[in-house]
Amino acid sequence: MPKTENTEIAEKDLDQGESLLAKLALEAELADYSPVKGCMVIRPYGYAIWELIQSTLDKMIKDTGHQNAYFPLFIPESFLQKEKEHVEGFAPECAVVTYGGGKELEEKLVIRPTSETIINHMFSKWIQSYRDLPMLINQWANIVRWEMRTRLFLRTTEFLWQEGHTAHVTKEEAEEETLKMLNVYKTLSETILAIPVMDGIKTENQRFAGAVTTYCIEGLMKDGKSLQMGTSHYLGQNFAKAFDTKFQDQNGQLQHVHQTSWGVSTRLIGAVIMTHHDEKGLKLPPKIAPVQIVIVPIYKEQPDKEMVLDKCKEILNNLSKDFRVKIDDREQLSPGWKFNFWEMKGVPIRINLGPKDISNNVVEIVRRDTGEKLKNVQQKGLNEYLLKLSTEIQENLFRQASEYLNKNTFTVTDQKEFTEKMKSGGYLICFWCGNENCEEILKQKTKATIRCIPFKLPVDQIQEEGYCISCNKKAKEKVIFAKAY
Amino acid sequence: MPKTENTEIAEKDLDQGESLLAKLALEAELADYSPVKGCMVIRPYGYAIWELIQSTLDKMIKDTGHQNAYFPLFIPESFLQKEKEHVEGFAPECAVVTYGGGKELEEKLVIRPTSETIINHMFSKWIQSYRDLPMLINQWANIVRWEMRTRLFLRTTEFLWQEGHTAHVTKEEAEEETLKMLNVYKTLSETILAIPVMDGIKTENQRFAGAVTTYCIEGLMKDGKSLQMGTSHYLGQNFAKAFDTKFQDQNGQLQHVHQTSWGVSTRLIGAVIMTHHDEKGLKLPPKIAPVQIVIVPIYKEQPDKEMVLDKCKEILNNLSKDFRVKIDDREQLSPGWKFNFWEMKGVPIRINLGPKDISNNVVEIVRRDTGEKLKNVQQKGLNEYLLKLSTEIQENLFRQASEYLNKNTFTVTDQKEFTEKMKSGGYLICFWCGNENCEEILKQKTKATIRCIPFKLPVDQIQEEGYCISCNKKAKEKVIFAKAY
């Protein structure tokens, strides 16, 4: 593996990735630790990123025919127990309310770790006929899954997410929905977050508790670890049977519905941080940057100051039609300090404006993605110039991340190579016999797990048959191994 | 009091208001009961109203300089106890988590009944200097306050809201902020929800636990009861002292910040239901109607059907630039059934379209607010016509509600009159000596409480001095009494 700027971090001790994440998130004021273990506070700058992701995804979810609703935070403990695998998967992570209104509760309430159970309870009331189907519901909500250690945005006891829940007449329709929404997530990740992803199927080990099939998108972070960025589950009739969610079909027969559920969370902000950064700080893709352009006035003396600030305001007014733009006119801070500050914050484009620029009717532009300085850019036509530049930066960040992904994805055929390569992280593609023990053996040795059975492999790695990386038996399935968060 | 259509409900047994609310909310599929006592499910049609209210208010909150953030659901029990009045007010309503991750917790966690405590804890970390002020934060979140009885949207154990929390250098600035945000709520209520409100100051009895002053807006519902629709609190330095939230002023001195908090909730949907309805169902103001216009195709035979549906689609396409519009092309249902259905749902404008209308290039329009049928409206210029009509409906709903408010607001000067009038609900304006016992006596007799000390009274009720409605002692304060939810 050639040493490049992009892969530098991955070769260090992988745990440094986490402290880097914390450093970047705290310094840029995206988040803070809460007094309650495992919880976090999302600060305004981080929440603004979430709002931009949310509004984009919300539109995509509505455009595919779904409606938003809101279901209760509290789930009766007995509900969780109705689906056997579901309770086994989630019970150990639950926060439990035992007192309410000054009294001990007769039935304990679980704080939703996910809402399949409560939603199925409601679906069983709302769905009577095939005419009520498909039922396509989405919810934006907070979720609680107990964590002892806080990894800001990536693993926290409480997080924000959306969860889609749908019910269909046929298995085929439900399966199609599952993949459609996985694809929505992939599009969101690649075109909005500028993060290339591997999409595929989870092995039984990593399947959602209660699902028939779990699909996922996984992104390779700059510390060489893989991050599960979104999942879409085909639930079959598991929950429908547990909650007796039935409809009368066109022949008057009662049938259980076929279901899906799918979700992404504030973890996506973690993915953005861990994909787009350098030693100076964050590099936000323009589409989700709360501030896309910052204008830094540069002056030394009083008469200049007024003129420079006036021109900055004029430029701000013009740009604010097309961009989220801001002037940093704080008096007590030097331009140099401001440059570092906004680079750390990941603002994609900076405009430096001084008296000389003004007399020449130009500005100086600095790109955050490449660090490139664009001198003497004409003020005339600046909006068009910046719209183009902004698209270029968005695409370039995706390109950089894709290069990193490609450089750190390898096909391996023997276990020694596997162990050696996995030291520096990345994705290892190899054959696997399908036996959980074989995965476990490699996990013990390297901490890596199977991230997914990928839909598609890079062209040069296609091969029909091979031998399991662990037991050497003949295998047909190609899987991706990586260390995960 | 003259008997009019508007006041009819108020004269019945007031408890019927609640069952009417439940009937309207369930029938129009705005909400449903949850299996957990006190909780509700907000169904897509109800949630769409919330999204429209939310996006409007969110913009107003941002336009006044605030930023959104997100704070944890869990508050350590010890935090609640730091402000004496606050814990007394909220502890009895709290849901308490005692188990997490399979273990009993060392410190119990309260689910936020409001977030002053956890936010002050963070503010005390974030605020160091006067340069960090004002700190203007808002949060959209779910809140839990234990209720034994569910009144859909009006009182539920869990509800959705926004809570603003700000910190300032001076008392004056904080007081100004408190009133500014109360005014934002008033504007929202009057111009978006079409609900006129009384604004004023709460008496000590009804003050937020921990505040110095609580301001409120109150709306008079059609069952004669008053609904507290929003509150804005001047908190003084109470929480700042409890959490040691200090800043260094320009002279280098450490000072406690001056604070405010303010909130409105999904209760606003309850206010809309209970203000705008008749015996046929809801009447939604166009600005928050998820469907502003419904088109009902009318045809008898096959060749007509295709032509009518095609024309409906053409009209839909034109209108969807300016409106949230929908065709009801369900085959198994008659036009008459559809008329009733969409009237019950409160859709402001209905377009009926049949073959005869098409050959005359016209449509038939039915207004939900007045029931008026507008025949032979030209298809040409329909968008402009409907934009005007939509504004008129929005204004007319506000006018109707204002008339109801005026007709049911009375000045009373003796207790007998008070008791008699209060039987049929409404607002009673009277003098009060300021003694809590006097309020308590009237509450025992009539169930009415002081809703607020109003900022402004209707002109014909201005009078400088009078005698307390309860004890007959000389009084300077005029207050509004009503039965409340």
Q: Looking at residue B148, what is its pLDDT?
A: 80
Helix (H, G, I), strand (E, B) or coil at B213: strand
Q: pLDDT per residue over A122-171, tens digit each? A: 999 999 999 999 999 999 999 999 988 889 999 999 999 999 999 999 99
Q: If you measure CA to CA, which chain B residue comes closest to A66?
A: B44
Banded model confidence at residue B37, pLDDT cuts 50, 70, 90:
confident
Helix (H) or strand (E) holding A14: none
Banded model confidence at residue A464, pLDDT cuts 50, 70, 90:
confident
Helix (H, G, I), strand (E, B) or coil at B296: strand
Q: pLDDT per residue over A280-298, tens digit each? A: 999 999 999 999 999 999 9
Q: pLDDT per residue over B157-183, tens digit each? A: 999 999 999 999 999 999 999 999 999
Average pLDDT of every residue of chain A: 93
pLDDT at B248 over 60: yes
Which chain A residues touch B144 with a CB distance below 8 Å?
A: 73
Which chain B residues touch A75 with a CB distance below 8 Å?
A: 36
Tell whether omega for the bond before A134 is within 30 degrees of 0, i.e. cis: yes
Nearest 5°: the CA angle B448, B449, B452 is 135
Which residues of A291-413 form beta strands (DSSP E)? 293-297, 325-327, 349-353, 362-367, 373-378, 409-411
Which residues of A90-224 form beta strands (DSSP E)? 95-100, 103-111, 135-144, 158-168, 198-201, 213-220
Who contacts B46 (Cβ-Cβ below 8 Å, separation ≥6)?
A: B25, B28, B29, B30, B31, B153, B269
Higher-pLDDT residue of A38, A232:
A232
Name the residue among B397, B428, B67 with its Cα closest to residue B224.
B428
Q: If you measure CA to CA, which chain B residue comes closest to A33?
A: B122
Q: Looking at residue B1, what is its pLDDT?
A: 32
Give which of B26, B74, B136 to mutate to test A binding, by max A Cβ within 10 Å: B74
Q: pLDDT per residue over A5-27, tens digit each? A: 333 333 344 467 778 999 999 99
pLDDT at A362 over 60: yes
Cite the residue boundaries of each domain of chain A with CATH code 3.40.50.800: 291-389
Cite the residue boundaries of each domain of chain A with CATH code 3.30.930.10: 5-68+116-204+211-278
pLDDT at A31 over 50: yes
Helix (H, G, I), strand (E, B) or coil at A43: coil
Among the partner-chain residues A47, A75, A99, the one whose CB lies closest to the CB of B69 is A47
Q: Looking at residue A19, what is its pLDDT?
A: 85
| Topology (CATH level 3) of domain A5-68+116-204+211-278 | BirA Bifunctional Protein; domain 2 (3.30.930)
Which chain A residues touch B97 with a CB distance below 8 Å?
A: 95-98, 111
Report field, pTM of the whole predicted structure over 0.90: yes
Who contacts B482 (Cβ-Cβ below 8 Å, separation ≥6)?
A: B218, B220, B224, B225, B226, B425, B426, B427, B428, B448, B449, B451
Class of domain B409-482: alpha beta
Higher-pLDDT residue of A204, B67:
B67
Give which of B43, B67, B73 to mutate to test A binding, by max A Cβ within 10 Å: B73
pLDDT at A3 over 80: no
Q: pLDDT per residue over B267-294, tens digit each? A: 999 999 999 999 999 999 999 999 999 9
Name the residue among B371, B400, B365 with its Cα closest to residue B385.
B365
Give the length of chain A. 485
Q: pLDDT per residue over B290-345, tens digit each? A: 999 999 999 988 789 999 999 999 999 999 999 999 999 999 899 999 999 999 99
pLDDT at B11 over 80: no
Cite the residue boundaries of each domain of chain B with CATH code 3.30.110.30: 409-482
The secondary structure of chain A in percent helix, strand, coil, rounded to multiples of 5, reads 40, 30, 30
| Residues B318, B338: Cα–Cα separation, whole Å | 22
Q: If you average pLDDT over residues B243-259, what whole number do you get?
A: 97
Q: If you average pLDDT over residues B211-220, what whole number do you get?
A: 97
Q: Looking at residue A456, what is its pLDDT?
A: 83
Q: If you measure CA to CA, which chain B residue comes closest to A29?
A: B126
Q: pLDDT per residue over A221-280, tens digit each? A: 999 999 999 999 999 999 999 999 999 999 999 999 999 999 999 999 999 999 999 999
Q: Looking at residue A12, what is its pLDDT?
A: 46
Banded model confidence at residue A337, pLDDT cuts 50, 70, 90:
very high
Q: pLDDT per residue over B378-396, tens digit each? A: 999 999 999 999 999 999 9
Q: Looking at residue A301, what is its pLDDT?
A: 80
Q: Looking at residue A275, what is its pLDDT?
A: 97
| Cβ contact, residue pair A47, B70, below 8 Å | yes
Q: pLDDT per residue over B344-369, tens digit each? A: 999 999 999 999 999 999 999 999 99
Q: Looking at residue B223, what is its pLDDT?
A: 92
Cite the residue boundaries of each domain of chain B with CATH code 3.40.50.800: 286-404
Among the partner-chain residues B43, B93, B142, the one whose CB lies closest to the CB of A142 is B142
Chain A to chain B Cβ contacts (< 8 Å): 157
Q: Looking at residue A10, what is its pLDDT?
A: 39
Among the partner-chain residues B47, B121, B142, the one whose CB lies closest to the CB of A69 is B47
Q: pLDDT per residue over B55-103, tens digit each? A: 999 999 999 999 999 999 999 999 999 988 888 889 899 999 999 999 9
pLDDT at B465 over 90: no
Banded model confidence at residue A460, pLDDT cuts 50, 70, 90:
low
Which chain B residues touch A160 with a CB distance below 8 Å?
A: 70
Q: What percent of chain B has pLDDT over 70?
A: 96
Class of domain A291-389: alpha beta
pLDDT at A2 over 60: no
**Closest CA of chain B from A48, distance in Å:** 7
**Closest CA of chain B from A108, distance in Å:** 10
Which chain B residues touch A82 with a CB distance below 8 Å?
A: none
How many CB atoms neighbour CB A474 within 10 A? 11
Q: If you average pLDDT over residues A449-458, what whole number do you get?
A: 89
| Residues B425, B446: Cα–Cα separation, whole Å | 10
User: How far is residue A28 from each of residues A45, A243, A296, A344, B84, measured CA to CA in Å?
Assistant: 8, 46, 18, 6, 35
Give which of B62, B96, B131 to mutate to test A binding, by max A Cβ within 10 Å: B96
Banded model confidence at residue B458, pLDDT cuts 50, 70, 90:
low
pLDDT at A457 over 90: no
ipTM at complex level: 0.94
Cite the residue boundaries of each domain of chain B with CATH code 3.30.930.10: 8-275
| Residues B347, B363: Cα–Cα separation, whole Å | 17
Q: If you average pLDDT over residues B179-208, what whole number do you get?
A: 96
Does the structural domain B8-275 have CATH classification 2.60.40.10?
Answer: no
| Topology (CATH level 3) of domain B286-404 | Rossmann fold (3.40.50)
Q: pLDDT per residue over A64-105, tens digit each? A: 999 999 999 999 999 999 988 888 889 899 999 999 999 999
Long-range contacts made by residues B103-110, C-beta under 8 angstroms, separation at least 24?
Answer: B107/B76, B107/B77, B107/B78, B108/B77, B109/A36, B109/A95, B109/B74, B109/B75, B109/B76, B109/B77, B110/B74, B110/B75, B110/B76, B110/B77, B110/B79, B110/B80
User: Of B5-9, B241-245, B342-346, which range is least confident?
Assistant: B5-9
Q: If you measure CA to CA, which chain B residue comes closest to A104?
A: B96
